[in-house]
Amino acid sequence: MTEFLQQAINALSLGSIYALIALGYTMVYGIIKLINFAHGEIYMIGAFVGYWTMSVFHLGVFEAILAAMIVCTVLGVLIERVAYRPLRRSTRLASLITAIGMSLLLQYTMMYFVGADPRAYPALPDYMNASFSLGGVVVKSQQLVIIGISVLLMILLQFVVKTTKMGKAMRAVSQDPEAAQLMGISVDRTISFTFAIGSALAGAAGVLVGIYYNSINPLMGIMPGLKAFVAAVFGGIGIIPGALIGAFVIGGAETAVSALGYSLFRDGVVFAILIAILIVKPTGLLGKNVREKV
């Protein structure tokens, strides 16, 4: 039981990070039916912004998270405005290719400026390195911070989506953009706001990964971005609660495989889950079959 609880804490920490990234995927897809494969690179840039905030300006962890969220918000809106908005009436294939191109552009632009070598995150305050033993289960303060910040951001997201005027506009645009526009809702502004929120969450996830694994590099967004996409598909892409469920399932699966001594196969297990869910229930766990008129 002690080992199970220990791995459950590890799974919650990892799943919380995947959830922050997966929410960006699922919100953007829910609004404009675009799979934003550049989202993982926004997460990577957030990690570097946090690194520079802590190492150059000597600010704390929470200030680094805030700075990463602000920079990634601006970057996400800029990417939507420059790369995706001109193609909104094009085919989905054109948008998908553009997203992949944007992903590669961000990767190698960052690599040009910072180099390809991994970097260690700056030393953390003492309270971030503390650990607690609860009945034999060791809980690190880093894990508590990661879980706490992730839960807080998820609650804020639910508050924005469910109660604010812009949140209602997001739900309206996701249902029927043309009808929403007739009701006076600015579709462009709503889409930009969606990119802003998703990018801010990804930026926060980047800093949390940096302090958790103590290593960042320009290519770090590829695999977590794909795994977060798997989490979004697992839960039902376009459905916020589904992304959360999928993220914790993926985090739990990875942790379980590593705990059993098969850490080399943890990536393969994640994509095996993707194949299985696409075969058994292509719409995802919470998704519903929707007929499209031809």
Q: What angle do CA 226, 232, 238 make, to 5 degrees?
A: 130
pLDDT by residue (tens digit) across 208-243?
A: 999 988 899 999 999 999 999 999 999 998 888 999
Name the H helices within the chain.
2-32, 39-55, 61-79, 92-114, 141-163, 165-175, 177-182, 187-213, 222-235, 240-259, 266-280
Q: Could you read off the pLDDT of 150-184 as tens digits, one per residue? A: 999 999 999 999 999 999 999 999 889 999 999 89
Smallest CA-to-CA distance from 238 within 167, 164, 175 is with: 175
Q: Where are the domains of the chain?
A: 10-219
pTM: 0.93
Q: How far are the Cα atoms of 154, 164, 180, 204 from residue 240, in angstroms, in the given order?
A: 10, 16, 20, 18
Chain centroid, CA 78 distance in Å: 18
pLDDT digits (tens, 9 = 90+) for 70-115: 999 999 999 999 999 999 888 888 999 999 999 999 999 999 999 9
